[in-house]
Amino acid sequence: HRNILYFQDFVDETLLEAPSSEVFSTRLRRAMYAETTASWQRQGKADFTKQILPIWCETQFEQPLSKETETVLIKSCFTQNYTRSFLAIHSTSESKCRLCNNAPETIEHLFLYCPEVETEREKLRKAMDGKEFNLKSILGTKENIRSTEVFISRSNFFALL
């Protein structure tokens, strides 16, 4: 009962007066995501991820194209992602992009700037139909996930991340 009262502060609807167990579960889940978001926003960590996924919420995605694309998609939302720039922080390894060898290999570089995947990036940009083209819209919106997976697959990011 104490836990339910705690989560009540994070939703407008009354949890204990829900008309059914299904409604109660939905409200409680929404409250838990709201509490997680509020806690996460107070912390001074994960700024990169917050830019892409500013709130915690339940999302049902379509079946991924492959386990590999799903893995790259998830890793791309975090700074600990095994790009060369991340690995160079923790070792003496090179940080230059393995595709173009011109810039530090970061998620931003791979998705937004690497000249070696420009053709595939233009296809992704076209598939997004004029929407803002940044990491948040590429990685953090449900409507672009399928196009992003195709981009990941055709750009051969599997070996990088």
pLDDT at 82: 67
From the list 131, 133, 73, 137, the residue with the least C-alpha distance to 107 is 73
- In which band, very low, low, confident or very high, does the pLDDT at 60 lie, cut at 50, 70 and 90? low
The most confident of the ranges 11-15, 67-71, 110-114, 155-159 is 110-114
For residues 132 and 159, the answer to whether their CB atoms sit within 8 Å is no
What is the SS3 assignment for 49-72? HHHHCCCCCCCCCCCCCCHHHHHH
The pLDDT tens digits of the residues spanning 111-140 come to: 999 999 999 999 999 999 988 999 989 988
Q: What is the pLDDT of residue 126?
A: 96
* More confident position, 53 or 68: 68
The pTM of this model reads 0.69
The pLDDT, as a whole number, for residue 23 is 92
Q: Would you call 155 exposed, middle or buried from its count of C-beta atoms within 10 A (0-12, 13-18, 19+)?
A: buried
For residue 81, name the pLDDT band (cuts at 50, 70, 90).
Answer: low
Nearest CA among 23, 51, 40 for reference residue 107? 51
Note whether 161 and 72 are within 8 A (CB): yes
Rounded to the nearest integer, the mean pLDDT of the chain is 84
pLDDT band at 71 (very low <50, low <70, confident <90, very high): confident
Q: Are the CB atoms for 49 and 140 separated by under 8 Å?
A: no
Q: Which two tokens stand for residue 97?
A: 């992009």
> Where does the pLDDT of residue 80 fall: very low under 50, low under 70, confident under 90, or very high at 90 and above?
low
Tokens of residue 149, six digits: 């997976």
- The 10s digit of each residue's pLDDT in 93-106 is 678 999 999 999 88
